Chain A
Amino acid sequence: MRYLLLDRISELQPGSHAVGWKCVAASEDYFADHFPGFPVVPGVLMVEAMAQLAGRLITYSVRAEGGGTVLPVLLTIQNARFRRFVRPGDKLELRAELMGLVDGAGRCRCTAKVEGQPVASAELMLGYDNGQNSVIPEAARATLGAWAEQVNANLLAGVTIGEPGGKAS
């Protein structure tokens, strides 16, 4: 996936929080245009990275409540703040905290840091498909579900869900 903006999830506590990171490579293609001679990570892509982590937190939180497999999608972005530039070589430390989970949606407070310094934050609401009033066609659901499982297994390799992460950033 070209725009998978997570390299690793180091901790995932269903119903509570998730921690992960993205190592920003100098070879990221957007640096060619954003900006020539001054490469910085676009803020929207940091929001996307947060959303990808938040979505997984929501998926596993719903599953922990016995709600089956859901496919979260971004619905709202609130209070997004971009405090510092993030540059090639930076390690974007991401954290998503579950603020609430209702029928069909979860809300997360997300932060991104570099070397412990806050670089971005936002509150994201992600809706999820509960299979009943599905917005995603049934055939695509199965494909997407299988694909997500594969991606999640890679991201979470070596991590026990629900246990504190040892090497969390």
Chain B
Amino acid sequence: MPEANANVQEVMKIRELADRVLASRHDEIVNKVREAVAEVLGREESEVKANSSLMNDLNAESLDFLDLLFRLETTFGIKIPRGGIQRATQGSLTEAEFQQNGVLTLAALERLRVLMPEVPAAQLHDGLTAREIPALFTPETFARLVAWRIGELEAEKAAGR
């Protein structure tokens, strides 16, 4: 399946950028994300574990995710551009290639497994719906998002030189 390979290759780039940054800064980034999550949700930092589901364990709503994105931009000096997250998750897949009646396609699951290695494989199961994705988000997920953006900034700087 040449399409599937291209699909995975596309997200591998994002994964590698994030991996490279996390290799040296994982704990620092995760802890700052936990701090931001605690502030947004009015929780004690000790209640926010690196693998707590923001929605299921900490009762976060979509509004809190938006607030969190802005805080992460400020905290880490990064930009999470409009459409950026969708470009990462869906990439060049069309809507129909990504989901059918709300249920994620195999190609979509394949992308998410590469993008979100912190999520236990069992949770990215066949039949998962697009609406269930936010429930998988943990501080680790946002740390990966931050690391990806930092990695991209660093790559841009390196290319500019």
State the A residues within 8 Å of B (CB): 62, 65, 67, 75-76, 99-105, 107, 125, 127
State the B residues within 8 Å of A (CB): 62-63, 66-67, 69-70, 73-74, 79-86
Main secondary structure of the interface of B (DSSP, over half): helix
**Contact partners of B73 in chain A: CB under 8 A:** 100, 102
**Contact partners of B69 in chain A: CB under 8 A:** 102, 105
**Which of A76, A99, A100, A102 has the most C-beta atoms of chain B within 10 angstroms of its own C-beta?**
A102
**Contact partners of A107 in chain B: CB under 8 A:** 70
Q: B70 near A99 (CB under 8 angstroms)?
A: yes
Q: A102 near B70 (CB under 8 angstroms)?
A: yes
Q: B66 near A104 (CB under 8 angstroms)?
A: yes
Expressed in whole angstroms, the minimum distance between the Cβ of A51 and any Cβ of chain B is: 15
Expressed in whole angstroms, the minimum distance between the Cβ of B131 and any Cβ of chain A is: 9
Q: A103 near B63 (CB under 8 angstroms)?
A: no
Main secondary structure of the interface of A (DSSP, over half): strand
Partner among B81, B82, B85 whose Cβ is within 8 Å of the Cβ of A62 = B82
**Contact partners of A62 in chain B: CB under 8 A:** 82
**Contact partners of B62 in chain A: CB under 8 A:** 104
Known: A76-B67, A100-B74, A104-B62. 8 other contacts (CB 8 A): A100-B73, A101-B82, A102-B66, A102-B73, A102-B80, A103-B82, A105-B70, A125-B70
Q: B70 near A103 (CB under 8 angstroms)?
A: no
**Complexed CA–CA distance, A67 and B94 (Å):** 18
Q: A103 near B84 (CB under 8 angstroms)?
A: yes
**Contact partners of B79 in chain A: CB under 8 A:** 100
A selection of 8 A-B contacts at a CB cut-off of 8 Å is: A75-B63, A75-B67, A99-B74, A100-B70, A102-B69, A102-B70, A102-B80, A103-B83
**Contact partners of B84 in chain A: CB under 8 A:** 103
Q: Which residue of A lies closest to B80 (CB)?
A: A102
**Contact partners of B74 in chain A: CB under 8 A:** 99-100
